[in-house]
Amino acid sequence: MTRPTLFLYWIVPAFFLGACTTTAEQADSSFGTTPSYTGTYSRPLSDAQPANEVEARARIHTELGHEYFSFGRMDVAMDSARTALKINSGYPPAYHLMGLIHMELRQNSQADDAFRRALSAAPGDPEFNNSYGWFLCTQKRFNEAMSRFATSASNPYYLHKTRPFTNAGLCLLENNELERAEVQFSKALETDPSNSEALYRLAEVGYRRGNYRSAHDLLIQYHRRFDPSARSAWLGVRAARRVGERHSEASYVEQLRSRFPGSSENVLMMQGRYE
């Protein structure tokens, strides 16, 4: 299986929320483990108002670093994180950004250290736990990863719980735990019906588990709501073949040929390598 991508968006909030705290909601048992943190939760630091002018300046550089990170400018993103730490020593979001950069560069020991520094200051932060959970998954430390995702989803202030559910599903797919992955993708979709990744992955899991009709029907839903991709059209071809839906199969074949002629999926189809 190819190395999947962390399902995480960096969102610069349009407004600041109060930094109140609460105890955790009952932990979701679907993760199969207890959260790594069970204390009092606060809002994500990305939602919290800066405590002072110094923190506000550090935040600006960190957010700028995330923008560079999203465009693949790892060197500039790292410089922004370092600048934030010079302004505000120990600033947790800057360490989180460093962790993401090191993870992307596969500098594993540095990534682990950076994530731990961020979490030492904010152990219940859902974004930090989501990111560190994914890092642990890439290191095949699956049980630890699920504990971090459970922590992320347990934070009652977190507005984006679809992310840890999705990443947990991807992590379980990486470990070939299809039934558990299906549960996580279902929860991700319940939390956010617009989560296209979760819907596609549900179809993929269904196909891999031999539930070809379910996979076919889920892909119909997917393509009614989202633009097709090479991978979704290719899965559509194979699912339609399995259930004898020749019209659907022909439609997916045409999409692959016309819209994604240079894709690896189209090459596989042309070679007749359906499995």
In the chain, how many domains are there? 1
Within a domain: residue 83?
Answer: no
How many angstroms separate the CA atoms of 11 and 46, rounded? 8
Residue partners of 86: CB distance under 8 A and separation at least 6? none
Q: What is the DSSP letter of 226?
A: S
Give the per-residue pLDDT at 147: 97
Q: Facing residues of 22 across strands?
A: 41
Within a domain: residue 67?
Answer: no
Within a domain: residue 34?
Answer: no
How many angstroms separate the CA atoms of 255 and 257, rounded? 5
Within a domain: residue 271?
Answer: yes
Within a domain: residue 190?
Answer: no
Residue 48: φ, ψ to 5°: -85, 140
Q: What is the pLDDT of residues 123-180, one digit of tens each?
A: 999 999 999 999 999 999 999 999 999 999 999 999 999 999 999 999 999 999 999 9
How many angstroms separate the CA atoms of 175 and 105, rounded? 22
How many angstroms separate the CA atoms of 237 and 21, rounded? 49
Q: What is the pLDDT of residues 165-177, one digit of tens each?
A: 999 999 999 999 9
Continuous H helices in the chain: 53-70, 74-87, 92-104, 108-121, 126-138, 142-154, 162-174, 178-191, 196-208, 212-225, 230-243, 246-259, 264-270
Q: What is the pLDDT of residues 181-217, one digit of tens each?
A: 999 999 999 999 999 999 999 999 999 999 999 999 9
Q: Residue 215 sits in which domain range?
A: 211-275
- Three-class secondary structure of residue 19 per DSSP: coil
Within a domain: residue 74?
Answer: no
Both structure tokens of 107: 């500098």
Do residues 99 and 122 touch, judged by C-beta distance below 8 A?
Answer: no
Average of per-residue pLDDT across 75-91: 98
Do residues 154 and 35 touch, judged by C-beta distance below 8 A?
Answer: yes
Could you tell me which of 118, 120, 148 has the C-alpha nearest to residue 27?
148
Average of per-residue pLDDT across 101-127: 98
Within a domain: residue 65?
Answer: no
Q: 247-254 long-range CB contacts below 8 Å, 24 or more apart?
A: 248/216, 248/220
| Cα angle for residues 237, 240, 241 (degrees, 5° grid) | 85
How many angstroms separate the CA atoms of 206 and 209, rounded? 5
How many angstroms separate the Cα of 164 from the Cα of each of 145, 197, 207? 10, 13, 23
Give the per-residue pLDDT at 29: 78
Average of per-residue pLDDT across 93-97: 98
How many angstroms separate the Cα of 172 from the Cα of each of 114, 125, 146? 24, 22, 9
